[in-house]
Amino acid sequence: MRRIGAVVVLLFTMFGAAGAETYRFTLEEAIGYGLANSTAIRSKQLAVAAAQADLAAARAGYYPSVSAGASWTHLFEQPRFGTSYQSGSDPIGASLEVGQSVYTFGKIKNGIKLAEEAVAQAALDLAEENRKIVVLIKNAFYGYLLALEVQAINRETLVSKEEALDVAQQRYNAGLVPDFEVLQAESDLESFKATVISSDNGVAVALLNVRNVLGIDIEEEDFEFELAGELEQIPLQIDQEALIQKALSGKYDLQSFRKLLDIAEAQNELNRSLRLPTLVGWANYSLQSGFDASSGKNEYFDLDAWDGNLTMGLNLSVPISGFFPWSEESAGLKKAQIQAEDQRLQYGALESSIRVAVESSILKIAEERAKIASGNKSVDLAQRLYEAAVEQYESGYISSVELKDAQLGLNAAKLAYAQAIYNYNRNVLDLMDVVGVADF
């Protein structure tokens, strides 16, 4: 099979101006660029950061809460008792209050556990988004390489048809064949040009798809784009049972489902703890400005006139209604138990479907491997048949119609071989999706 060169280049003629910005990627570089340029990944990263912020907020329950306040009051008529004033006309107050959870019977701990599960789920979502983008880029990249290979095969066939027309013209000039032979070769050449145009367009479309998955602005001007790679089989050693076990342990769908069960259990534990008592300790220190009892004037700058008061206490609260069977808390716990049981049933069904999907993908890969082996032999036989047909045509033993059949046979064999390699790679990438990995 004819291989694509180490570096394959497609330039849009409208963007061929000197000094244009150039993007050039191998598969590995394309993956790196795509991951760095993905808005979807950035969104998942922000989701992880938000979940971590929620976790920090949940852990704050272990630490004291501190609040400070200040007040100013204007009394239009000061209270008096006999000749003594009971308050200044504009008293100023300040306070500082500290609260500390002494024992919450698991509320804080369960809240933290729930937040930790949310962080783990967000991290899992981020990892899966990375994996999906890698596979998506590989699909687009191999699609481009297939389009380029098809283009090369068709152009090679076009050259052979041009050569056949030259031979027909020479034989006609020598008086060996009628002009019908030349017209037939020329007609065959012109009709095949439409196939070449179509394959050229296929390369352009495939390149646009690569640009799209890499997040490169399609509207950008002054642009050149290059890809480097070869259309060849992705190496893979298949161990069916090992792949199934890998899928069952690492596939995102199952991991996410397990995490969903963990979150549901953490939420259930939190709901139970909400029905238990809460013991909170507190302390408050308040400071009030002084005044002259005989005149009623405020004394802001006399420190001895200020009056401070310290109070402390414990507060125990018990949500008694949460224990009633008709309460909202009891109904929530019952619902959570039902949902958890339903999720376990779904998990078992998902495991079974993944086993079938792995086995199906492996069968498809084996089928494409057989097609590749057969296609390789077909290309070799078609090449030998075509070379023999060229010799016979040049010697006048066969007509241009028979030569055309040999040309088309070689063209079809090469295209089928290239398609088989591409289909094999697609099935390997599908298997990666099924197993939940970005590479084997």
Query: Mind listing the pLDDT tens digit for each residue in 387-423?
Result: 999 999 888 888 888 888 999 999 999 999 999 999 9
- Three-state DSSP state, 333: helix
Contact present, 123 and 189 (Cβ < 8 Å): no
Q: Is the pTM of this model over 0.85?
A: no
pLDDT of 13: 32
Share of the chain above pLDDT 90, in %: 52
Domain 8-60+112-274+321-435 coded CATH 3.40.640.10: no
Query: Mind listing the pLDDT tens digit for each residue in 20-71?
Result: 566 778 999 999 999 998 999 999 999 999 999 999 999 999 999 999 999 9
Provide the β-strand partners of residue 25.
227
CA dist 331 → 261, 263, 321, 336 (Å): 19, 18, 12, 9
pLDDT of 336: 73
Helix crossing, 240-250 with 252-273: angle to 10°? 30
For residues 17 and 1, give the distance between their C-alpha atoms in angstroms, rounded to a whole number: 35
Q: Name the least confident of 196-200, 218-222, 281-285.
A: 218-222
